[in-house]
Chain A
Amino acid sequence: MNLKLRVWRQPGPAVKGRLVEYEARDISPDMSFLEMLDVLNEQLMQRGEVPIAFDHDCREGICGACGLMINGVAHGPNRGTATCQLHLRSFKDGDTINVEPWRASAFPIIKDLVVDRGALDRIIQAGGYITAATGGAQDANTILIPKETVDTAMDAAQCIGCGACVAACPNGSASLFTASKLSHLGLLPQGQPERYRRALRMVARMDIEHFGGCTLYGECQEACPKEISIDTITRMNRDFLKATLSEGRGAVAKSD
């Protein structure tokens, strides 16, 4: 099959970028989207041109490194699919495809399709953990956790930190990312002691990093390659509210 690609090229952070047209000819529908970019890059290099920079690594949909806006949709047209798992059979022969980087003020562009997602690490640093220094942990089976609870926590813990939720959100909000971590840890008994402090600090960090606010468009859950639900955001908002109301009065919110 043949495709026409319009790819965002931007040599560096301070330079203006633009869409550049490329032809992808005689490609197999069994190729993955990134393999098509590999092939295109090989051709560019043989012509002495600079290849298109894009982040990728595991190519199994778990590391979260890849992420492209494909025709304006984060990770492309298929639900629950990271860019690396998208295959060309999802397109028609002769299609024109726009390929752009994540666009969000919190994710500055480094080059071409590569952006800086360091802000997501800093949200985790603000409280996305359970303080449990190595050594002296009690036997694992002394903490009983109902299967339903751990399954719900796991649904949220599956987040791969790709940033698609931010790119898909009209406000550029990182709420689904943050709420996933708050849900994962806040649902488990081990996560209770820091639950409300964690919510306050992670939410505050989102603002510092220039992510937008959440107005529940729900675009994030449509884009999420792990299909994480915006129920997590409800949970985050509830914990944040509870923590905020208690905070000013010197009290600490209690777990329910």
Chain B
Amino acid sequence: MIVLDPRVPSGPIETKWDQHRFEMKLVNPANKRKYTVLIVGSGLAGASAAATLSELGYNVKCFCFHDSPRRAHSIAAQGGINAAKNYRNDGDSIQRLFYDTVKGGDFRSREANVYRLAQISVEIIDQCVAQGVPFAREYGGLLDNRSFGGAQVSRTFYARGQTGQQLLLGAYQQMEKEVARGGVKVYPRTEMLDLIVIDGRARGIVVRDMVTGKISSHLGDAVVLGTGGYSNVFYLSTNAKGSNATAIWRAHKRGAAFANPCFTQIHPTCIPVSGEYQSKLTLMSESLRNDGRVWVPKNQGDKRRPDQVPEGERDYYLERKYPSFGNLAPRDIASRAAKEACDQGLGVGEGGLGVYLDFADAIKRLGEQTIRDRYGNLFEMYQRITDENPFEAPMRIYPAVHYTMGGLWVDYNLMSTIPGLHVVGEANFSDHGANRLGASALMQGLADGYFVLPATIGDYLASAKPAKIDTGHPEVRRAEHEVAEYTRKLLTINGKRTVDSFHRELGKIMWDYCGMARNAIGLRKALKLIPELRAEFWRNLNVPGSDTELNQALEKAGRVADFLELGELMCLDALHREESCGGHFREEYQTEDGEALRNDELFAYVAAWEYLEPNKPERLHREPLGFEYVQLAQRSYK
């Protein structure tokens, strides 16, 4: 039975982290090399942790399913990274970044974690600059900043539209430096398929070599998962095709609680789906809404070209509903409003799932050159994909899933409910509550990897003093055997349907019933449909090829099998949370004017789910959330 102990240090919030760092046990330098840490994932959190732990003297093994650790999906982050540097002298501070993040998360995150994140944000920028990350600069040579949603200060550092790429390459290079020194060994094209727990502690992982198919295990003194989010449960998302939940899900099944699985973020401005063959979605920066006006035709079935719809027959619905924020209404609001319009049959483009983002007025007011200067690269990207020129016709956009705030539950030390299993970055649930602010994902991934985990993991190792084990241990043999059996099972169903056909069907169920707006009837329906689909998957799946070669269909099958279980848990979580908060909008719980209605009395807690046995509902545990430093308040955008 799981016990949730957040282990938040006592004392004032400003000094908790410093005090904690002093109180934690240390491992002496000569002893560090006796410990091996297994890190799964090589994105911002995984690579930064691998580099830093190796610099400290630990032996590190880092595993990734890509051909190179540099390809982890952190690479695709565009906008920037927040830090409370106050370089603009515009009133920013650690306190303000903390406040914005707690409020932005709609009061469903842990105050102490968020405060620490804001404190560390400052060091991250220094560290990255020292590594040679080419952040944008002003002519005087100082760092430049831009503004992002949910904040009234300018605190976002960026490297063109490729901030994630540059930060990841920074961490990757630091890790490769340690590979050369011998402190880190990287295992590319290697996928974690199970967690080995011995005497209640995480002691290793079972992996599959994706080239030869060989299943083997790696043992260590602690395991770290930095394997990212699970947006691909929806099939169509802005995540990379390979992003998956397998590592965290299999750890969950070994005893790690899964927190707030239903908290997903849906980004309002993505390029709409253009056909059945669509494989993934592409984000268009939120900044476009500064000058673009969102509208749909007032009449259903209006098939005229947008420039032929007269002004009087257009509904600029964001401006109409939210006069003070207009087109810059927050992400969750803008996404839901677009869905509402399309549900009413007012959507535009093929399939009717799209709304216009129109720059005609801005071009008239500011001239084409100004718009080109501001958004040139985005317009080009849009045209490359859609073959339409946004200078001539309005863009068509539609919301898409792109981040999951939920993840494995961790305490203040980033340790899950399995001792020795640590979780970093998007894979954990910790800092963003029910809604993440823009430019905060990169901040959290690097805070966890460079600064938090390297401090807390020493405390675990020094206290636990893990015993020696070898690969002949019966638990290791058993785990390896189970993985081999599971793989064999996937290959021998010999049914008729492909993996992708199941994945698409699951995605549609999730999108329809556990997407932007949820209600009890829909969620109950999904809870019936998903187990049925899962049963069919295990009865009617067809995976060609063998398990002793590179077999991409087999890799996908394992991941989709996990999504088919995780999806059900997400719906269960969404059904139990009878309130609306952040990205979780339950239609039954809204204010008169359609805003999210939180229920702090009953739901100011983290929902952490415990896996029991196959096809049985999971058990709910609650971590109550207290708000001492930020006052609980309703958000309003009218």
Contacts and interface: CB of A to CB of B under 8 A. Distances in A.
B552 A51 contact: yes
A80 B459 CA distance: 49
B545 interface: yes
A138 to B, nearest CB: 7
Interface in A221-252: none
A135 B384 CA distance: 42
20 contacts: A27-B277, A30-B275, A30-B386, A32-B279, A34-B279, A46-B498, A63-B66, A63-B71, A63-B73, A89-B387, A114-B550, A129-B174, A130-B132, A130-B173, A134-B450, A134-B454, A140-B125, A150-B134, A158-B162, A188-B132
B143 A141 contact: yes
Given A30-B274, A45-B553, 16 more contacts: A30-B275, A38-B279, A45-B498, A53-B550, A60-B282, A62-B165, A111-B549, A111-B550, A114-B67, A134-B55, A137-B123, A137-B127, A138-B126, A140-B126, A144-B140, A190-B132
Interface in A133-173: 133-135, 137-141, 143-147, 150, 153-154, 157-158, 160-161
Interface of B: 48, 51-52, 55, 66-71, 73, 75-76, 85, 87, 123, 125-132, 134-143, 159-160, 162, 165-166, 169, 172-174, 176-177, 179-180, 186, 188, 211, 240-242, 274-275, 277-280, 282, 384-387, 450-451, 454, 498, 500-501, 542, 544-545, 549-550, 552-553
A157 B129 contact: no
* Residue in A56, A157, A160 whose Cβ sees the most chain B Cβ within 10 Å: A157
A8 B450 CA distance: 43
A83 interface: no
Contacts of B138: 147
* Residue in A60, A140, A153 whose Cβ sees the most chain B Cβ within 10 Å: A140
Interface residues of A, number: 75
B55 A133 contact: yes
Nearest to B545: A50
A85 B381 CA distance: 9
Nearest to B71: A63
Contacts of A110: 211, 550
A46 B540 CA distance: 12
A147 B139 contact: yes
A134 B277 contact: no
B180 A125 contact: yes
A197 interface: no
Contacts of B140: 144
A137 B498 contact: no
Contact of B130 (A42, A128, A138, A146): A138
A62 B76 contact: yes
Nearest to B546: A50
A184 B170 CA distance: 11
A155 B593 CA distance: 48
A64 interface: yes
Contacts of A42: 498, 500-501
Nearest to B239: A58
Contact of B126 (A39, A126, A139): A139
Interface string A192-220: 00000000000000000000000000000
Contacts of B143: 140-141
Interface in A90-140: 110-111, 114, 116-118, 120-121, 124-126, 128-135, 137-140
* Residue in A58, A64, A87, A89 whose Cβ sees the most chain B Cβ within 10 Å: A58
B285 to A, nearest CB: 12
A205 B104 CA distance: 48
Contacts of B159: 154, 157
A150 B544 contact: no
Contact of A53 (B142, B160, B282, B552): B552
Contacts of A256: none
